[in-house]
Structure 1
């Protein structure tokens, strides 16, 4: 004699087949996504992600092209440089580099970077200017030559913003 009786309800519901309209809609949606992926792969860029490839992974740089390193520095009244990049102001490098066009358009935003530095380092030196400097390292066949150049991309005098 069984301990339990068979339930009247099936454990698996009946399979409902997708209608012709549903199949057509799903195939059309899949075709649109595939076209976007193919077009993005051929002509897309980082800003079209996920339909465009990340260029840093999908392309190769010329081994004789200079490598650019961006840094942010504060300058004291004595002319000494204080590093403001590398998390010193609460922004990671990629976050900061993503904001470069805004900083070039509105250098006063560098005043906020100085303010953040002062809040995080109250006993640090007083800054009179903030600069975004790009250093270009020269390469030959992918190897550093030792030559480099510094270009100030944008600068902001803190006295002007007070």
Structure 2
């Protein structure tokens, strides 16, 4: 599995962009659908939700595999007391993982609520709130290149 680690990191970094673009598409679609009366058609946000949730679920699977094969995470799991004092270990094992799981739960909840909405306006409002909140959490938990010792490149190679 160690030989796959660089490839998994590459895929996880690449999939980040699908999540961000899917979330942006969802939020923009929801904003565009807000003014559409009381129609029962929730289709304007259905496809963006599917793209967003599909990319988040794929990202979760890749992230969980990385959590178990990453040398950083394995070292942290060996001594959590020390890991909590080391910023990169704490970030990737606890902060990043927790924030992403919370974002996924919020997005999943919003997806179900939007799908069951009584009108397109309600679906758009729900999508904007839940999709926007989950996207903000995701953006806050991504290790961007300008984040000091936890920084990661915009797109890594393998």
Tell me the TM-score range normalised by the shorter chain. Answer: under 0.3
Higher strand share: 1
The structure having more radius of gyration, on CA atoms, is: 1
TM-score, normalized by length of structure 2? 0.23
Structure number with higher relative contact order (C-alpha < 8 Å, ≥ 6 residues apart): 2
